């Protein structure tokens, strides 16, 4: 797998995707999403469980951004 840092450099000159479809269409964004999901899973951030009767699923969404450090380098 390509490192997340090299993927960030490859997308830094592109626009930030507005939808998940836009992100999946670009290899760099897609690989960064995989890296992030793997980190969440490794850290035990969430578990898959069966949904109990009459319970509602809590929604979530991806937010895409390029973070700049204080010296204007990609963080």
Most confident of 5-14, 40-49, 60-69: 40-49
- Tell me the mean pLDDT in the region 21-30: 88
39 falls in which pLDDT band (50, 70, 90)?
very high
What interhelical angle do 4-11 and 27-42 show, nearest 10? 150
11 or 27, which is more confident? Answer: 27
Let me know if 21 is exposed, middle or buried by CB neighbors in 10 A (0-12, 13-18, 19+): exposed
CA–CA separation, 62 and 39 (whole Å)? 15
């Amino acid at each position: 797998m390509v490192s997340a840092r090299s993927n960030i450099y490859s997308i830094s000159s592109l626009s930030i995707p507005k939808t998940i479809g836009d992100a999946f269409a670009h290899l760099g964004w897609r690989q960064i999403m995989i890296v992030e999901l793997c980190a969440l899973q490794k850290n035990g951030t969430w578990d898959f469980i069966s949904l109990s009767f009459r319970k509602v699923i809590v929604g979530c969404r991806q937010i895409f951004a390029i973070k700049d450090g204080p010296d204007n380098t990609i963080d």
